[in-house]
Structure formats: structure tokens, C-alpha cells
Amino acid sequence: MIKEITVQELKEKMDNKEEFQLIDVRETFEYETSNLNGENIPLGGVLIEADRISQDIPVIVQCRSGKRSAAAIMQLESALGYTNLYNLKGGILAWQEAFDPNMPVY
């Protein structure tokens, strides 16, 4: 079962300056259009670049809508045993809708 976090919970963590890592698994061109200041590791590279992903603090994984980030979490949990991953429910589209309607999204 994939753990989820809402955009409201993410914003609260950001506002409170809590320690976490944000990974954006969209393609680079999507990330360059708009992002939430997370690290860009496209879905196809999450296992190859897993050494960039913390196992010690909460890691929030996001994409456009939540599907690719869920796939990334499944890969990391099954292949490498990660237990600290949270899927951003609704992805950057949910963030745009809730907090930044003028944010360009792909």
C-alpha cells in the first residue's frame, strides 16, 4: 500500500521548514515548465539514481497527477526496500488547483 500526502500537507511541511526530500519524477522538459523546487529524477532513472534518494528522512515523490510517482515508489520499495516514501496525491496539478492557479503545467 503506497502512503500518500496531500498538497495541503506538503505545503504545511514546506511552511514549517520540516526536513524532507521532494523528488519530481516527470521528464526534464515538464520539470523545466514548472516545479515545486524538488529534485528532478525522471521515472526511467529512479533505480539508476536511487543513491540520490534519502532513506533516512521522509521522501515525497511527485509527478503531474500522481501516477508516475506511484510507479516510482513501487519500484523503489520492491527493488531497494525503501519504506520512507510518500506519493503526492494529485501531483503538480493538485498543487496548481489548490495554491497557484497561474502556474504553467504541462
Placement of cell 496531500 in the chain: 6
CATH label of the domain that carries residue 41: 3.40.250.10
Q: Would residue 104 count as lying in a domain?
A: no
Q: CA Rg, the chain, in Å?
A: 13
DSSP assigned state of 52:
G
Report yes or no on 8 lying in a domain. Answer: yes
The packing angle between helices 7-15 and 91-99, to 10°, is 70
Other beta carbons within 10 Å of 1: 3
105 lies in a domain?
no
Residue 84 lies in a domain: yes
pLDDT at position 105 is: 81
Q: What's the pLDDT tens digit per position in 83-93?
A: 999 999 999 99
> Does residue 106 lie in a domain region?
no
Cα distances (angstroms) measured from residue 42 to each of 18, 47, 99, 102: 24, 10, 24, 24
Give the mean pLDDT of 36-56: 98
Task: Give me the number of domains the chain comprises.
Answer: 1
- Structural domain containing residue 33: 4-99
